[in-house]
Structure 1
Amino acid sequence: DPDREGEAIAYHLREALRLKNYRRIAFHEITEKAVKASLAEAGDIDMGLVAAQEGRRVMDRLVGYRVSGPLSDRLQQRASAGRVQTPALRLVVDRENEIRAFVPTNYFEVVATFEAETGKWEAKWDSKPYLKAGQDYFQDEAFANSVATLREFTVQDINTKPVTRKPPPPFISSTLIQAASSQLKIKPKKAMQLAQELFEAAVITYHRTDTPNLSDEAVGMVWDWLRQNGKDNYIPPAANKW
């Protein structure tokens, strides 16, 4: 683990095992090349990172102990909070207050449906030129109804342009859980269990990650496989990076 937590784990292992001769290694990807490189560049434990991790744990407890109790009392169930959960809870509460304070506005739109050789298509009436000063929505129902009675239209202009759409980034742990919850109604624990099974079956890449990028070594291996199997047309000019 190359972060503060990994540094603290290394420190605690050294202390618990009473190691005198030790070396600390870190790597950012699980590949043979990366592991060998880390072994070749083994170093000492960074006590600054260890102290940072201890500071983070202290902050977690200072915030968590102050918030968890009142939060549990308010929810009438056991709940925990810390340096991450507390500001996240605040964001949820602020958003909920905005939702409750929302005042609905009635407005009107007109959509025309056209028949063409290629099939049906729709056009939405642009009501912005007819908005009164200070209005964000068109609220004149009678005017909207009169527009809706129109049956003849004139095409003023046609614009054609190429559109490039890039694929979305691969899932990281958080976006995987979000998509599983919103689209498949799968709980986070179950989603990660299923992902673990897919990973163990070598169907997906490692899912416990906060980066959507593949290593250069992995990309090179994929491209080599594509070339060897006559699928060069699937190789882009450059690998996508996020």
Structure 2
Amino acid sequence: MKIADTIRVERKKKELTQAQLAEQLFVSRQLISKWETGKGYPDLEQVAKLSEIFDLSIDTIIKGDNKIVTKLTLDTKRKKWLQALVITLFVALIILISFFTFTFLIEGPVIQLKDLKIVNVKKKELMEKTVRNKATGQIITIPADVSYEIKVKTSNPFLNLNHIKVYKNQENKQAIQVTLFGQYGLWWNKKESIITIPSSRMEGLTGENLNIYKNIYLWNKEKSKITIQNSQDETIEKTSDLFITW
């Protein structure tokens, strides 16, 4: 028996009008009429409700009607695909939110030498000069120094070189240690950049504060960790990788 006949027969057995059955199912009377004339089919939830009203199993209601079986199968598959899509979009949204949180709210990763390839280095010579302090009239001699512009690139898919921050950690007569901070990003972000290591000659007029005649080292977090664990002095050479040779 087709489901249209089953609905009509069982409805009459329960002495229900189409309007009364529609009211119990929260649908229109016209929809009940379509079901009973084979012009439409109930969905799985409606079939389950009909089984309760008629006191029949779902199998009994749909048995013998291949069209309703096919429709319910397709409906079930569509719901599964929809659920999978919703879960996928939710996970993608979480990843996107996390990405923007790392990018805009959290300082980016410490860049290590293994993440970079030096393309070229431009060294700018800064000549010694004498200037007068306008406020005090004092004559000050600013020593000669150098500044660096280092073009680098990365193949790290999660590193964005759009904005690199340079910090000088420590320095001595032979070397300067710097730390570079990048940004979290994906492969479509900027993979090349210019790192500038400026002169500090205006901050201090002694050789200790200058770049000239010094090698530049890049702080290495793994080397630093090992040095601390072994209770060694955290010198530039022990906690860094050689970045630029004078």
TM-score normalised by the chain length of structure 2: 0.19
Kindly name which structure, 1 or 2, has the bigger radius of gyration based on alpha carbons: 2
Give the strand-richer structure, 1 or 2: 2
The structure in which a higher percent of residues are helix is 1
TM-score normalised by length of structure 1: 0.20
Report 1 or 2 for greater relative contact order, CA contacts < 8 Å, sequence distance ≥ 6. 2
